[in-house]
């Protein structure tokens, strides 16, 4: 299971994901991303530093939110994925769609 927390850094939410994002826990991530969209935050960082596993359901949640944010001229950035998570993102080509940073601070600084 995963724990998903959102914390504001200025006017940018940073959504931290701890644990395993699978078919059962992906709705938590999707809900946090949707809450950011509902609050009209179209620039968001997802911190993956403590994410152990990211299933296709988790990737789908990220991709869906990215498309919605892009439609609003915003951006969804990923921060601090482990080598395993980064390799998974590369395997399906998502590394080409997201800006990926070494840390949340680096991702925030880019906005």
CB 78 within 8 A of CB 104: no
**pLDDT tens digits, one per residue of 55-111:** 999 999 999 999 999 999 999 999 999 999 999 999 999 999 999 999 999 999 978
Token pair belonging to 30: 């999707």
Query: Which residues lie below 8 Å from residue 59, measured CB to CB, with a gap of 6+?
Result: 88, 89, 92, 94
Q: What is the pLDDT of residue 1?
A: 84
Instruction: Please report, for the chain, the start and end positions of each structural domain, with discontinuous segments joined by +.
Output: 2-105
Buried b (16+ CB within 10 A) or exposed e, 72-107: eebbbbbbbbeeebbebbeeeebbebbebbeebeeb
**pLDDT tens digits, one per residue of 4-50:** 999 999 999 999 999 999 999 999 999 999 999 999 999 999 999 99
Q: Which fold has domain 2-105?
A: Transcription Regulator spoIIAA (3.30.750)
């Amino acid at each position: 299971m995963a724990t998903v927390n959102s914390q504001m850094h200025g006017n940018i939410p940073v959504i931290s994901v701890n644990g395993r994002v699978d078919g059962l826990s992906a709705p938590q991530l999707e809900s946090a991303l949707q809450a950011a969209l509902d609050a009209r935050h179209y620039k968001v960082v997802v911190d993956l530093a403590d994410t152990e596993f990211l299933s296709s359901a988790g990737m789908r949640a990220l991709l869906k939110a990215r498309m919605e944010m892009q439609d609003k001229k915003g951006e969804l950035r990923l921060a601090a994925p482990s080598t395993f998570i980064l390799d998974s993102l590369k395997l399906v080509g998502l590394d080409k769609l997201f800006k990926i940073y070494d840390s949340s601070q680096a991702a925030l600084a880019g906005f």
